[in-house]
Amino acid sequence: MIFKKLKINNTVLKNRIVISPMCQYSSKNGSPSKWHYQHLNSLSSTGASMLILESTAVDKIGRISNSDMCLYNNTHEKKLKNLIEFLKKKNDIKYGIQISHSGRKGSSYEPLVKFNTPLPKNKAWKILAPSPLSRAKKWPEPIEMTKKQIKDLIKKFKNTSIRAKRIGFDCLEIHMAHGYLLHQFFSPISNKRSDEYGGSLKNRSRLLQEIAHEIRKIWPKNKILGARITGTDHLKGGLSVKDATSLAQNLKKIGLDYISVSSGGIIPLTNMKQKEAFRLDMANKIKKNSKFLTTMSGMITKHNIADYMVKKKKIDFITIARIIIKNPRWIYQLAKKQKIKNLIPKQYSRLI
Mind giving me the DSSP string for 86-141? HHHHH-S-EEEEEEE--GGG-SB--TTTSTT-BPPTTT----EESSS--SSTTSPP
**Residue-averaged pLDDT of the chain:** 97
Q: What's residue 341's pLDDT?
A: 87
Mean pLDDT of 310-324: 98
Does pLDDT of 349 surpass 90? no
How many Cβ atoms sit within 10 Å of the Cβ of residue 291? 10
* Sequence-ordered strand ranges (E) for 35-93: 50-57, 69-70
Per-residue pLDDT at 176 exceeds 90: yes
In order of their start, the domains of the chain are 6-337 (3.20.20.70)
For 192-250, the pLDDT digits (tens) are 999 999 999 999 999 999 999 999 999 999 999 999 999 999 999 999 999 999 999 99
Q: Buried b / exposed e across 168-196, counting CB within 10 Å, b at 16+?
A: ebbbbbbbbbbbbbbbbbbbbbbbeeeee
Q: Which helix (H) or strand (E) holds 165?
A: helix 147-167
Tell me the per-residue pLDDT of 63-109, one tens digit each, with 9 for 90 and over: 999 999 999 999 999 999 999 999 999 999 999 999 999 999 999 99
User: How far apart are alpha carbons 5 and 1 in whole angstroms?
Assistant: 9
Sequence-separated (6 or more) residues with CB below 8 Å from residue 205: 186, 246, 247, 250
Q: What percent of the chain has pLDDT over 90?
A: 97
The residues facing 50 across adjacent strands are 18, 94
**Confidence class of residue 350 from pLDDT cuts 50, 70 and 90?**
confident
Q: What is the pTM of this model?
A: 0.97
Burial class (CB in 10 A: 0-12, 13-18, 19+), 91: middle
SS3 (DSSP) at 337: helix
Closest CA to 256 of 206, 294, 285, 201: 294
In whole angstroms, give the CA distance from residue 326 to residue 330.
Answer: 9
DSSP per-residue codes, 184-219:
HHH-TTT----STTSSSHHHHHHHHHHHHHHHHHHS
Band (316; pLDDT cuts 50, 70, 90): very high
What's the average model confidence in pLDDT over 4-23? 97
Nearest to 234 by CA among 277, 263, 201, 274: 263
Q: By C-alpha distance, which of 145, 293, 324 is closest to 227?
A: 293
SS3 312: coil
The pLDDT tens digits for 275-299 are: 999 999 999 999 999 999 999 999 9
Cα(207)–Cα(186) distance, integer angstroms: 8
pLDDT at position 352, please? 87
